[in-house]
Amino acid sequence: MKKLVILACALCLMSTAVFAGEEFKRPDYKKPPSREEMIKMRKAREAAFEQKLGLTEAQKAKAKEIRQKGHKEMKPIMDKIKDKRKEAEMVKMSRIAGWVQEERLNAIDKDLRNLEKKANVIRKKNMKEFESILTKDQKKILENMKKEGRQKFEAGQRPCPEENNPQIGRAHV
């Protein structure tokens, strides 16, 4: 009798494990893109953007230079923002008194706002520098692209140029 009960329990456990495993194999799940795929998608977006604006080779080279310079300026700020967010998570998970935790979170939030302001100043400066290399017609096209982007954002749509490019596919959302 004991053997039968043990056998029944083992079968029950194995069938539960099999069904549980099937539950996690959702057909709609998409694996997040790899670093290489992300680089491909970024380059495709850049190429589509450059093509839509009709940039010359000289403008493309200057735009790349502006992007790289902006990245160098932005990296330390983004690293600090990332560190502050981690610090905030650690404070939230800590077992310190509620009022102490709130004070620390307020200080971190203030630091984050200052860092984000600095990042926005750099972004705006880079955008002005980029716009300075464009012709009047290209600036008009860029303004239209910005308007379209704002409208999509306000409508709750995420622009995803990869959808239109069958070579790349869609990013994990």
Q: Which of 9-13, 62-66, 162-166 has the lowest mean pLDDT?
A: 162-166
Q: At what angle do helices 57-93 and 98-131 cross, to 10 degrees?
A: 180
Q: What is the pLDDT of residues 73-105, one digit of tens each?
A: 999 999 999 999 999 998 888 877 878 888 999
Summarised one tens digit per residue, pLDDT across range 131-164 is: 999 999 999 999 999 999 899 888 887 655 444 4
Q: What is the pTM of this model?
A: 0.64
Residues 127 and 43: beta-carbon distance below 8 Å: no
pLDDT of residue 168 exceeding 60: no
Residues 80, 108: Cα–Cα separation, whole Å: 11
Given this model, what pLDDT does residue 2 score?
Answer: 67
**What average pLDDT does this structure show over 10-23?**
58
